[in-house]
């Protein structure tokens, strides 16, 4: 026999906290920005990465929160993301860090975005469009500035570090008289966030040696040996916070996950930015042997009390947390039991008194003295903070607060 309490009435449609939601602290976002800036020093520019809709939090809110901190420019991954910022009224420089697909390249030019050059085919498009725009006597399609990516070991994009003599002269020659400016050169660290500090340091050191060799060759090619010619940037969040001494020698850093309170492979004192909450929608007492969820993967071992939460994998809660993850209910950490459904998740709340539908559970964040960090959720789901953050769907309202 089981007894249950059901939700008395639906929250009003105007209440974004009716079922499940994400809380985002703008003040914590700015605090983390300042933490990265302090690590690398005041003379190093900041390029906050706001790709993937501001790491899943809503790019408009992220830009609004960070704009006053004076970023050098904004970093995105795709042309559409850059154009979206333009639609929002962003006038500052926007850099597209992933190579643009062929169909997107002209749109990048028209959107006044700062693209990344990773192949010589894109260079021909840049120069052709620039020349045609100049011939028409207008500015349509003129990029102005672009960056070159150098592959020092990541392997996914960029010009090979070991063959500068093959591609650099072609770029210098290709932009001659075009009105375009090769403004920057960068590489991407592949293991700066490795929890094993020694291994991370060795990998970062090797990539930096390769990159410095490229920089010396580029300086010599343009007749400016010993003087920086191109803006240079290397550091992601982990690079900036774990190896600030090495990264402060460059012109800019590109923090991403650190801004949003994620892990960089070491404790760096970052503030929590995100909390994910859901309402309790059902409370039921069950007898021993009662099963829950698809395939009945959990069976009550004794009389227990279960609470159903109004959140599931359709909201972005990883299904991998089934029978493994946890939530905070009444300031107690309680286990997720059974398989997570698309819209609902069940937790074992045995021993918690007076729990009723409408009470709030926390899936990520702090409730009272109890905390579930992004890193905790990622570990339980056997993935990384990035995937947890960017995986929340549009069904969850994003609620921005100052604190």
CA–CA distances in Å: residue 395 to residues 18, 360, 377: 12, 17, 20
Residues 6+ apart with CB under 8 A from 151: 157, 158, 159, 160, 161, 187
Q: Which of 33, 55, 260, 294 is catalytic?
A: 294
Estimate to the nearest angstrom the gap between the alpha carbon of 361 and the chain centroid. Answer: 25
The pLDDT value given to residue 28: 98
List the Cα angle 193/198/202 in 5-degree steps: 80
> Is 298 part of the annotated catalytic residue set?
no
Q: Is 302 annotated as catalytic? A: no
Whether the per-residue pLDDT at 144 is higher than 70: the answer is yes
- Average per-residue pLDDT for the chain: 91
CA distance 319 to 63: 31
What fold does the segment set 26-260 form as a domain? TIM Barrel (3.20.20)
Cα gap 102→312, rounded to integer Å: 37
Phi/psi at 157 (5° precision): -165, 165
Residue ranges per structural domain of the chain: 3-22+272-401, 26-260
Q: How confident is the model at residue 103 (pLDDT cuts 50, 70, 90)?
A: confident
DSSP state of 354: T
d(CA 60, CA 53): 8
SS3 302: coil
Rounded to 5°, angle at Cα 323 from 262 and 330? 70
Q: State mean pLDDT over 43-48.
A: 97
| Enclosing H/E stretch for 345 | strand 345-348
- What's the pTM value of the predicted model, to 2 decimals? 0.91
Helix (H) or strand (E) holding 133: helix 120-135
Write down the H helix ranges in 51-103.
51-55, 59-66, 79-87
25-30 mean pLDDT: 98
Closest CA to 342 of 307, 313, 310, 381: 313
Find out whether 237 and 244 touch, Cβ atoms under 8 Å: no
Q: Is the pLDDT of residue 196 over 80?
A: yes
C-alpha 188/C-alpha 61 separation (Å) is: 26
Q: Which tokens is 318 given?
A: 């990883």
**Active-site pick, 51, 55, 298, 313:** 51
At residue 232, does pLDDT exceed 60? yes
| Second CATH level (architecture) for the domain 3-22+272-401 | Beta Barrel (2.40)
pLDDT digits (tens, 9 = 90+) for 5-15: 443 344 555 78
Q: Rounded to whole angstroms, how far apart are CA atoms 228 and 225?
A: 8
Number of neighbours of residue 261 by Cβ within 10 angstroms: 26
Taking the CB of residue 68, how many other CB atoms lie within 10 A of it? 9
Average pLDDT over residues 310-324: 98
């Amino acid at each position: 026999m089981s007894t249950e309490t059901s939700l008395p009435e639906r929250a009003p449609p105007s209440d974004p906290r009716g079922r499940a939601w994400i809380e985002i602290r703008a003040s914590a976002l700015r605090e983390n920005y300042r933490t990265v800036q302090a690590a690398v020093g005041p003379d190093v520019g900041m390029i906050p990465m706001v790709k993937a809709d501001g790491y899943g939090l809503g790019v408009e809110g992220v830009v609004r929160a960070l704009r006053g901190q004076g970023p050098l420019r904004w970093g995105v991954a795709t042309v559409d993301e850059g154009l979206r910022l333009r639609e929002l009224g962003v006038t500052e420089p926007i850099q597209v860090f992933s190579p643009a697909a062929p169909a997107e390249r002209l749109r990048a030019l028209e959107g006044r975005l700062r693209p990344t050059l990773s192949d010589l085919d894109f260079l021909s498009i840049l120069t052709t469009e620039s020349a045609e725009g100049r011939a028409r006597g207008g500015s349509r399609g003129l990029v102005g500035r672009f960056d070159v990516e150098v592959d020092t070991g990541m392997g996914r994009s960029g010009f090979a570090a070991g063959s500068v003599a093959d591609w650099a002269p072609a770029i210098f020659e290709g932009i001659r008289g075009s009105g375009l400016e090769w403004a920057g050169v960068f590489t991407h660290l592949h293991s700066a966030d490795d929890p094993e500090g020694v291994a991370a340091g060795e990998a970062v050191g090797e990539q930096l040696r390769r990159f410095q060799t490229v920089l010396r060759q580029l300086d010599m090619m343009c007749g400016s040996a010993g003087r920086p010619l191109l803006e240079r940037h290397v550091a992601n969040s982990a690079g900036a916070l774990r190896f600030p001494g090495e990264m402060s020698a460059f012109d800019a850093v590109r923090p991403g996950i650190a801004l949003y309170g994620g892990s960089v492979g070491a404790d760096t004192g970052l503030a929590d930015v995100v909390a994910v909450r859901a309402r309790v929608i059902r409370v039921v007492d069950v007898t021993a042997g009662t099963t829950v969820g698809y395939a009945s993967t959990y069976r009550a071992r004794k009389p227990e009390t279960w609470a159903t939460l109004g959140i599931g994998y359709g909201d972005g809660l990883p299904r991998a947390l089934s029978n493994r993850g946890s939530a905070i209910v009444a300031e107690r950490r309680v286990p997720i039991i059974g398989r997570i459904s698309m819209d609902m998740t069940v937790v074992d709340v045995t021993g918690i008194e007076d729990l009723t539908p409408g009470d709030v559970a926390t899936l990520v964040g702090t409730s009272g003295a109890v905390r579930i960090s992004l890193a905790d959720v990622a570990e339980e789901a056997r993935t990384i903070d990035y995937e947890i953050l960017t995986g929340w769907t549009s069904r969850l309202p994003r609620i921005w607060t100052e604190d």
